[in-house]
Amino acid sequence: MRPGIHPASRPVVFRDRAAGTALLTRSTAVSERTVEWEDGATYPVIDVEISSASHPFYTGTSRVLDTEGRVERFERRYGRTAPARG
């Protein structure tokens, strides 16, 4: 890699506001806000709306929609319509 063209990577805390969890990782993201981490050091913090801790796909709370039979159920309720004449 060429020196001097890449942004500096530093420890950053990403905090999921919905789940109340936080993750310390390395990132190039910049934030003026800081938080004291479990090790006693202060790191920049970036609040995120959703993460793997609160996303329904990862938590197992996602709903599986029943798509089988939807058309048939609709046709049973409302009947078939006449083909369009044109």
pLDDT in 10s for each residue of the chain, 86 residues: 688 898 889 999 999 888 888 989 999 999 999 999 999 999 999 998 877 777 666 556 656 566 667 777 777 888 776 666 65
Q: Report the first-to-last Cα separation within the chain, whole angstroms.
A: 65
pLDDT on residue 56: 61
pTM for this predicted structure? 0.60
Query: How far is 11 from 76, CA to CA, in rounded Å?
Result: 59
Give the pLDDT of residue 61.
Answer: 62
H-only helix segments in 16-69: 56-59
DSSP 2: -
**Do 17 and 49 form a contact (C-beta atoms < 8 A)?**
yes
